[in-house]
Chains A and B, each alone.
Chain A
Amino acid sequence: MSLRTPLGRVLGLGSSGGGTGHWWSQRVTAVALALLGIWFVFALLSLDLSSRADVSGWLSRPLNAVLMVILLGVAAYHSLLGTEVVVEDYTRGSARVLGRVALQFAHVVVAGVGIFAVLKLAFGG
């Protein structure tokens, strides 16, 4: 006999209330980052990084700008998911709540600023 309610079994969310969603998003973003990472590594190798004209010419091309925006968003999300787990492992109580909220704020700011910089460049200076 199971002590779990039928509703609990159907929802499958477990004691954390989060189920496998967090874990699964970590995997999906990992696959995306593996592909975007390969793209970014080869892009960096193809550029003269000390030349602003070279780098901004590359980044203002639509395909590169779009991939860079996606990379920033996905990396920030994967990083948020990952660092949240780290905070949950080593803290409890209000420190855990504050830590997670601080991570969420910081990641949104970093992604927002980075995406703005790419768009500013892509839309012409």
Chain B
Amino acid sequence: MAADNRPLSPHLQVYRPQITSVLSISHRISGVFMAAGLCVLVYWLTALAGGPGAYADAVGLLGSWPVQILLFAWVVAFFYHFLNGIRHLIWDTGHGFEIEQVNRSGKFVLIAAAVLAVLFWFGVRMGGGA
């Protein structure tokens, strides 16, 4: 077969979505989304190094509600990718491949990521009180 018309992976459309496949593609989506998030982290650092005026501008921008929605999505992506990444690393040691184990660890990752994301979001202080 000519090298330029081989099929490309991974044919998402032909499978019925299941917890295994949905969590797998979510790892990819969260990873790519966080790659974009690196730009935001670096923007925040440059504003910090830029002085009080630049930092105040950044706090204003990052605190505006459309950006807050995006930031919350990044927090969710981080905790999901973090926990699911550890799940990947456990698989790499050869453990946890039985189908009930895969389903169980998948559910655990989903619930734990949601809980950690919410705890973190409400734990972060942006000025003022507690």
Q: A residues within 8 Å of B by Cβ?
A: 27, 30-31, 33-34, 37, 41, 44-45, 47-52, 55-56, 59, 68, 72, 75-76, 79, 82-83, 86, 89-93, 110, 113-114, 116-118, 120-121, 125
User: A30: shortest Cβ distance to chain B, in Å?
Assistant: 5
Q: B residues within 8 Å of A by Cβ?
A: 3-4, 6, 8-10, 28, 31-32, 34-35, 38-39, 41-42, 45-46, 48-49, 51-52, 55-56, 59, 63, 78, 82, 85-86, 88-89, 92, 120, 123-128
In the bound assembly, the distance between CA atoms of A44 and B75 in angstroms comes to 12
User: A67: shortest Cβ distance to chain B, in Å?
Assistant: 13
In the bound assembly, the distance between CA atoms of A2 and B15 in angstroms comes to 35
Residue in A50, A79, A118 whose Cβ sees the most chain B Cβ within 10 Å: A50
Set A47, A76, A118: member contacting B45, Cβ < 8 A:
A118
Set A31, A47, A83, A121: member contacting B49, Cβ < 8 A:
A121
In the bound assembly, the distance between CA atoms of A49 and B61 in angstroms comes to 13
With A41-B120, A45-B120, A49-B59 given, is the CB distance from A118 to B38 under 8 Å? no
